[in-house]
Amino acid sequence: MRHINVPRNSNADPESSEAIKPSRRRFLQSAAAAAAVTAAPLAHAQQPAATSAPPPPTPTTAAPLMPVKLTINGHAYEMQLEARTTLLDALREYASLTGTKKGCDRGQCGACTVIANGRRINSCLTLAVMHEGESIVTVEGLANAQTLSLSPIQKAFIDHDAFQCGFCTPGQLCSATALIDEFRAGDASAATADVRYRPPQLSDDEIRERMSGNICRCGAYPNIVAAVKTVAINKA
Ligand code: FES
Ligand code: FES
């Protein structure tokens, strides 16, 4: 128990001082005792536990890495990836090709669209290991690297002012590039009137349906449709 020394008041009336001394001393002693009792649990709580602390949790071991070979925009890549790595993350984080955008990361926006072995896919919905040996084209691979010229669809997007912020544009460009090839190959869509016959031209409805997996929050849809239509007509 702690003791509190009470200084004597030399100016006080000796008589009255003596008179109050016993009760005052008792009061101060009681108060000190109460304070010590109250503080004791707190002081105890602030002390580190006397018993030995439980051992720290064992760190989980990293997932094993797997070699993944991809040809991206004509260049060979060999990456060491966890099996759970999406193709989108492999492109952005390991191949440093950040043109492909991560919008929703759950297959809803189309910002991550790339072309794998000629087919457009949402790269956030597929694992990189599933594309071992495949040829991937991203927005960085659409232009002609030799002539340093933009692809027809890239030029058309500029001519038709088919973007505002541009976040969705890499996915729109890859999607439109594959769309035109799909149409020329005779693939039907939900908007095709008679799936037995390829329509002679892509109508606006056809383009809207075939591009419906690519969301543009800036609402540049009319200009995107116009750009795609221009290229489709010239390629038909
Ligand atoms: S990021 Fe892949 S669909 Fe949105
Ligand atoms: S241009 Fe901004 S989201 Fe499409």
Q: Is residue 12 part of a domain?
A: no
What phi and psi values does residue 166 have, to the nearest 5 degrees?
90, 0
| Ligand 2 contact via 216 beta carbon (within 6 Å) | yes
The structural domain count of the chain equals 2
CATH number at residue 109: 3.10.20.30
Last residue of a domain, one of 117, 141, 165: 141
| Ligand 2 contact via 111 beta carbon (within 6 Å) | no
Last residue of a domain, one of 126, 141, 156: 141
Tell me how far apart the alpha carbons of residues 124 and 132 are, in angstroms, rounded to a whole number. 16
pLDDT (average), residues 137-144:
97
| Ligand 2 contact via 218 beta carbon (within 6 Å) | yes
Last residue of a domain, one of 141, 164, 183: 141
| Ligand 2 contact via 164 beta carbon (within 6 Å) | yes
- Asked whether residue 157 falls in the same domain as residue 196, the answer is yes
For ligand 2, the distance from its centroid to the CA atom of residue 11, given in whole angstroms, is 86
* Other Cβ atoms closer than 10 A to 236: 11
Closest ligand 1 atom number to CA of residue 105: 1
Instruction: Supply angle C-alpha 184, 125, 154, rounded to 5.
Output: 45
Residue 122: exposure state from Cβ atoms within 10 A (0-12, 13-18, ≥19): buried
Strand order in 113-116's β-sheet? 75-82, 65-72, 135-137, 113-116, 119-122
Of all residues in the chain, the percent with pLDDT exceeding 70 is 76
pTM for the model stands at 0.74
Residue 79 has pLDDT above 50, yes or no: yes
CATH number at residue 204: 1.10.150.120
Render pLDDT for 214-224 as a digit per residue (tens, 0 to 9): 999 999 999 99
Structure token digits, residue 96: 């440093």
Closest ligand 1 atom number to CA of residue 104: 4
Closest ligand 2 atom number to CA of residue 165: 2
